[in-house]
């Protein structure tokens, strides 16, 4: 009987029964149980009395609201943590998209797969294939970062002339009006060539004057500035961060006071007198138009209302009297222009405020709304560009570079980082495209943007670290032929900006998501702040009992799914992916349960329990990254060649999800709560394992040879071709006979269209040459072991084999060419002593 009752209650919870459903079930079950148990009449009467009281309290809405819900509402108001105005603005910013499904415990996979496949228009693809390609061909990152500490003047002019600063600006204002997908693709491709150029292009198209004007500007402001911004006649920057306000941007001390002043010869102009000191401002050293965030005060109450009007945004020409453009910062040897800006007593008229007087005090909301979209594109795209470059070059280098007579990529010690590089790149590129799609669909995904920014930059750092380990000495010696060193140095920049990653993980992803994406929490908070008692009680009662049913349902689903290890859950068809959908559904239910448990048990203190919040954020992040990865696999046509990447990425993320849950449970307060969570989420224990070694071997293999899977993994990066530049011939090695070197170069030009003067072009050519020459190398090795060849060095040995007729003259030229390519790839840059002195 007890088992039957438990099954009934489990089904009620599983299918999320309403309060009425629970009351009706209890009305039927309790008498049956009492009669079957032969309870004495007096006890049975007591049971009926309790049951009647229960029915009255929970089954009659009027009584339930005024007795139960009103009591809980009072408690809820007392324990509800204090939320600052800036925190509230952040919570309210943006929209809820797929993250809402993941928070529901019931993700709709049909909805996921019904989203359109990310794509570019013909004009956008043409821009990538032409203007972006031309820009990349103009970029010499060593010259930019070491010699100039800036982009060359002709590059600056090209960027302006070709509209790179106006990608988000509509065509009617002279912009390109690109989709978020195209914006992301452009930044990604440039980032694979030069981090400096990528930052220079992405900043004007991210959080800054153009986006703020498009969303909030007056018609006059749009007409005045947008065309000039799109054509590069104005160079924008946006100043938020200062010496005493970094992550806590709401604490900015910069201020303005409403007053009357003189402007351009006119007296008694209503405006604001500003004082500010900002730092870390990208493009500030060359900006002609400064976007400024400051706190506005109206001591004379000229505008009416309060004295403290809140954070406000303005556009200020940097030529204005009193505006001081300070010295440059030098962020980790990156040459993008970043510096300080100051102003003291700078007077601006009211029409310099973005949106005019109606938007006074709305600055923080405006910034959060724009950040939700901008953060979804720029940093993920730049990170993925670097990751794809690392994946492409690490795979090729691992095949070309040999030690102990074997390509280094065939050693398991190298396979391990190659697997991480490939799988992380595959997953984060999927998240990049999926998130850009959300923006193109009209979403402003605030929580998702935090997820993808954090994981793109963190995994980007992991990938570049692994790539440096694979390259060894080749990676650590800076110079024109080092394609990884600057990316390695500059990885912490993306970690730090647009919400430092420590803060993003520990406070924003779950902290904002728990309120923004949860189907009931925001409603409960709104009811708690509702001043009308009757309306508050109705709203809170509906939200509370909806929340209780939601929590019970997810507890039941988590337990049942855990018992079955996810099996039996409805999922899209497909043998390779079905189990992944089932595991994600299981963990979505468990996540919803864990989130409710954390909020219920920890209450307001959850805000300070950042480690638990961070781990719950990790779970939500993994659910999102896995969703994007499955979507990518489906959109790509489910290619069998990509399965090792898919399997490794998914299994790694699911294992990390399991471990994050374990971290939450082990650190949850209260022994009883820990045991209950563990039993509901892992009723049979933790059964997932990291990816198997054979998957890593398969990934390393596909990364080390040309093919469709390798090309899909690294699609969209810049690979230098001979027709991109005028000078492309590879100089023969000084020890190579002139006639042989010339023949080798001629053979090379006929068979390979990569620019071999460029380090990455030479590496691509060397990979193809290495694979083509392996049979010939085997012939030479066999002859050497048979005692037919006595030369100790490679080039004389090739000549000896040719002279003995072991190989043909044409084959000898092919091997000599291969030697030149391999030597160029393996060698590192060197310098005269005076070349490295400061100022040289």
Which residues are designated catalytic? 498
CA distance 94 to 96: 7
| DSSP H/E element including 311 | strand 308-317
Q: Is 581 exposed, middle or buried (0-12, 13-18, 19+ CB in 10 A)?
A: buried
Chain centre to alpha carbon of residue 482: 26
The answer to whether 484 and 467 have CB atoms below 8 angstroms apart is yes
The tokens of 407 are what?
Answer: 């390509």
For 318-453, where are the E strands, in sequence order? Answer: 323-328, 338-349, 402-403, 406-407
| Residue 476 half-sphere exposure toward CB, CA atoms < 13 A | 5
- Residue 122 to residue 324: CA distance in whole angstroms: 43
Vertex 384 angle, CA 648 and 472, to 5° = 75
DSSP string, 104-162: HT---HHHHHHSPPP---HHHHHHIIIIIHHHHHH--HHIIIIIISS--HHHHHHHHHT
List all residues 6 or more positions away from 615 whose beta carbon is below 8 Å from its beta carbon: 660, 661, 663, 664, 667
Q: What are the CA-CA distances from residue 622 to residues 428, 570, 617 (Å)?
A: 11, 20, 9
Q: For residue 298, is it left (φ>0), alpha (ψ between -120 and 50) or beta?
A: beta
Name, in order, each residue with C-beta under 8 angstroms of 290's C-beta and a sequence gap of 6 or more.
Answer: 236, 237, 238, 239, 284, 315, 316, 317, 318, 323, 341
Q: How far apart are CA 91 and CA 83, in angstroms?
A: 10
Q: How far is CA 148 from CA 158, 335, 839, in A?
A: 17, 8, 10
C-alpha neighbours within 13 Å on the C-beta side of residue 271: 20
β-partners of residue 257 are 273, 297
Going by their DSSP bridges, the two strands 338-349 and 308-317 should be labelled as unpaired
CA–CA dist 225, 617 (Å, integer): 40
Structure token pair of residue 794? 């490679």
How many other CB atoms sit within 10 Å of the CB of residue 726? Answer: 6
- How far apart, in whole angstroms, are the C-alpha atoms of residue 254 and residue 299? 16
Helical (H) or strand (E) element with 533: helix 533-563
By three-state DSSP, how is residue 621 classified? helix
Listed in sequence order, the residues at least 6 apart from 199 whose beta carbon sits closer than 8 Å to its beta carbon are 282, 334, 336, 382
Question: Are 290 and 347 a contacting pair, CB within 8 Å?
Answer: no
For residue 353, what is the DSSP state? B
Query: Helix 446-471 vs helix 412-440: angle between axes, to the nearest 10 degrees?
Result: 150
Task: Give the contacts of 358 (CB within 8 A, at least 6 positions apart).
Answer: none
* Alpha-carbon distance values, 263 to 269, 287, 346 (Å): 7, 22, 10
Centroid of chain to Cα 386: 13
Give the whole-angstrom CA distance, residue 207 versus residue 545: 40
């Amino acid at each position: 009987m007890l088992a039957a009752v438990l099954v009934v209650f489990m089904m009620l919870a599983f299918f999320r029964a309403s309060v009425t459903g629970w009351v009706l079930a209890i009305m039927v079950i309790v008498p049956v149980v009492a009669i079957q148990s032969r309870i004495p009449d007096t006890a049975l009467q007591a049971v009926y009395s309790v049951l009647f009281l229960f029915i009255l309290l929970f089954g009659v809405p009027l009584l339930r609201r005024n007795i139960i819900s009103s009591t809980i509402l009072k408690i809820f108001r007392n324990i509800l943590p204090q939320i600052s105005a800036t925190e509230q603005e952040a919570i309210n910013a943006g929209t809820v998209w797929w993250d809402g499904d993941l928070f529901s415990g019931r993700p709709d996979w049909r909805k996921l797969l019904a989203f359109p496949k990310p794509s570019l228009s013909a004009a956008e693809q043409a821009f990538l294939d032409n203007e972006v390609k031309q820009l990349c061909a103009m970029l010499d990152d060593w010259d930019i970062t070491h010699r100039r500490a800036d982009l060359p003047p002709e590059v600056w002019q090209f960027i302006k002339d070709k509209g790179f600063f106006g990608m988000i600006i509509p065509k009617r204002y002279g912009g390109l009006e690109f989709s978020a997908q195209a914006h992301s693709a452009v930044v990604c491709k440039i980032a694979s060539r030069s981090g400096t150029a990528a930052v220079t292009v992405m900043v004007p198209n991210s959080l800054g004057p153009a986006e703020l004007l498009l969303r909030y500007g007056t018609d006059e402001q749009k007409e005045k500035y947008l065309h000039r911004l799109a054509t590069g006649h104005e160079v924008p920057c946006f100043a938020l961060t200062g010496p005493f306000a970094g992550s806590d941007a709401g604490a900015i001390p910069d201020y303005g006071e409403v007053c009357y002043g003189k402007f351009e010869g006119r007296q008694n102009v209503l405006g604001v007198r500003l004082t500010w000191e900002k730092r870390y401002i990208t493009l500030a050293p060359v900006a002609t138009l400064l976007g400024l965030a400051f706190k506005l005060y109206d001591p004379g109450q000229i505008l009416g209302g309060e004295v403290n009007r809140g954070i406000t945004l303005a556009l200020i020409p940097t030529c204005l009297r009193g505006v001081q453009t300070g010295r440059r910062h030098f962020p980790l040897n990156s040459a993008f222009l970043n510096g300080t800006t100051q102003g003291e007593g700078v007077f601006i008229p009211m029409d310099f405020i973005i949106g005019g007087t109606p938007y006074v005090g709305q600055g923080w909301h405006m910034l959060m709304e724009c950040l939700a979209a901008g953060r979804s594109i720029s940093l993920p795209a730049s990170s993925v560009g670097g990751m794809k470059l690392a994946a492409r070059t690490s795979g090729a280098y691992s095949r070309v570079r040999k030690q102990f007579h074997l390509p280094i990529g065939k050693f398991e010690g190298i396979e391990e980082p190659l697997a991480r590089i490939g799988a992380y790149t595959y997953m984060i590129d999927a998240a990049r495209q999926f998130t850009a799609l959300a923006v193109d669909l009209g979403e402003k995904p605030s929580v998702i943007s935090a997820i993808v920014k954090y994981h793109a930059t963190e995994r980007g750092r992991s990938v570049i670290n692994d790539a440096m380990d694979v390259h060894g000495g080749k990676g650590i010696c800076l110079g024109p032929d080092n394609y990884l060193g600057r990316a390695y140095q500059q990885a912490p920049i993306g970690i730090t900006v647009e919400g430092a990653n420590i803060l993003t993980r520990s406070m924003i992803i779950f902290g904002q998501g728990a309120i923004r994406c949860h189907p009931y929490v925001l409603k409960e908070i709104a009811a708690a702040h509702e001043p009308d008692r009757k309306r508050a009680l109705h709203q809170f009662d509906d939200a509370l009992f909806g929340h209780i049913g939601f929590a019970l349902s997810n507890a039941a689903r988590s337990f049942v799914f855990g018992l079955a290890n996810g099996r039996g859950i409805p999922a899209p068809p497909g043998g390779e992916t079905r189990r992944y959908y089932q595991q994600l559904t299981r963990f979505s239910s468990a996540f919803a349960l864990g989130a409710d448990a954390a909020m219920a048990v920890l209450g307001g203190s959850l805000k300070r329990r950042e480690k638990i919040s961070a781990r719950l954020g990790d779970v939500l992040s993994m659910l999102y990254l896995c969703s994007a990865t499955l979507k990518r696999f489906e959109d790509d046509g489910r290619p069998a060649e990509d399965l090792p990447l898919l399997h490794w990425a998914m299994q790694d993320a699911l294992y990390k999800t399991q471990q994050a849950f374990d971290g939450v449970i082990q650190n949850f307060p209260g022994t009883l709560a820990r045991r209950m969570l563990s039993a509901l989420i892992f009723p049979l224990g933790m059964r997932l394992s990291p990816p198997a070694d054979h998957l890593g071997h398969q990934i390393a293999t596909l990364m080390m040879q040309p093919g469709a899977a390798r090309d899909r993994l690294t699609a969209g990066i810049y690979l230098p071709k001979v027709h991109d530049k005028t000078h492309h011939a590879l100089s023969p090695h000084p020890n190579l006979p002139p006639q042989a070197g010339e023949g080798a170069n001629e053979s090379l030009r006929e068979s390979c269209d990569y620019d071999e003067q460029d380090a990455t072009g030479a590496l691509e050519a060397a990979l193809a040459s290495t694979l083509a020459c392996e049979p010939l190398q085997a012939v030479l090795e066999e002859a050497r072991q048979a005692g037919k060849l006595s030369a100790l060095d490679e080039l004389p040995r090739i000549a000896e084999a040719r002279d003995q007729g072991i190989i043909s003259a044409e084959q000898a030229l092919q091997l000599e060419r291969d030697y030149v390519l391999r030597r160029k790839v393996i060698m590192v840059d060197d310098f005269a002593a005076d070349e490295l002195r400061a100022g040289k």
